[in-house]
Homo-oligomer: A and B are copies of this chain.
Amino acid sequence: MEADIFKALADPNRRAMLERLAAGELTGSALGQGFAISQPAMSQHIAVLRGAGLITERREGRSVHYAVNPDGMAPLHDWLSRYQAFWPERLGRLKDFLKEMDQ
């Protein structure tokens, strides 16, 4: 699962797609606007993002609305937090802050 996320994010087109979705949900064809790849290629990228749990889909008639999955990046964040100890002081303090909030 974690591996799926890293693999999904390794592709620049998929990251760009996520960024567009970050501005709000879009249908497949709307999302495809501005990308110089075919519709099937978009569909395949969407399948990868969905498989990684990064986006959700909502069927509406003959179109599908895609949106960023709020919890999708959580595993990535958790993974990244293991390296906070190496970050500069400023970011290191975040960890303590999180712990406080958990209590």
C-alpha gap A55/B100 in the complex (Å) = 31
Closest chain-B Cβ to A35's Cβ sits at a distance in Å of 16
Establish whether residues A98 and B88, one from each chain, have CB atoms under 8 Å apart when the complex forms. Answer: no
Q: Is the beta-carbon distance between A76 and B80 smaller than 8 angstroms?
A: yes
Query: What are 29 residue pairs bridging A and B, where the CB atoms are less than 8 Å apart in the complex?
Result: A3-B12, A6-B6, A6-B9, A6-B10, A6-B15, A7-B10, A9-B10, A10-B10, A19-B82, A22-B85, A68-B86, A69-B86, A70-B86, A70-B87, A71-B87, A71-B88, A72-B86, A73-B83, A73-B86, A73-B87, A74-B87, A74-B91, A76-B80, A77-B87, A80-B80, A90-B101, A93-B101, A94-B97, A97-B97
